[in-house]
Chain A
Amino acid sequence: EDQVTQSPEALRLQEGESSSLNCSYTVSGLRGLFWYRQDPGKGPEFLFTLYSAGEEKEKERLKATLTKKESFLHITAPKPEDSATYLCAVQKSSASKIIFGSGTRLSIRP
């Protein structure tokens, strides 16, 4: 069964303390893996798409990487405004639907 599992469920960091979020997936034939950010009361906002193992993408303090079975979202020297829920999602090559994980709630303390 196609599945996306994110860990940890919640993560509290001090401002400036770097860390990584994990997304492991089981899907046959990956079309793309996505990372989204969701703020309370809002819809998810697109961050990155990764297509194949070894690919990396960066945006400000965020860097996403992809292997054949998992993806990591690395956060370097985070700021309080990086506090949000980060969602990982995958799309199979043979399907239209995009499957989301349950997310990691990230909290950055000043």
Chain B
Amino acid sequence: DIQMTQSPSSLSASVGDRVTITCRASQNINNYLAWYQQKPGKAPNILIYAASSLQSGVPSRFSGSGSGTDFTLTISSLQPEDFATYYCQQSYSARLVFGGGTKVEIK
């Protein structure tokens, strides 16, 4: 099975900061990669699919890049509502495995 590894597992940042989260796949998954945001006590919410396609309604400060095994989620200017946990998920294989998550906390 494909394994997904995120880094860092947590980070502290301030409002207005540029934040980058990395996700690495254990094998080539082309651009079959999605990113989700989860806030405490809530279900996850899709942000990006196909590595770089922004889901409708998601603010443009979120962007994704990468292909093959290495991917990045970038928040260009962190807002108070962005403090949450972020997960990547591969969709190359039928078993849609998630990464371990990155918690973005307030500095």
**Does A pair with B?**
no
Interface residues of A (CB under 8 A from B): none
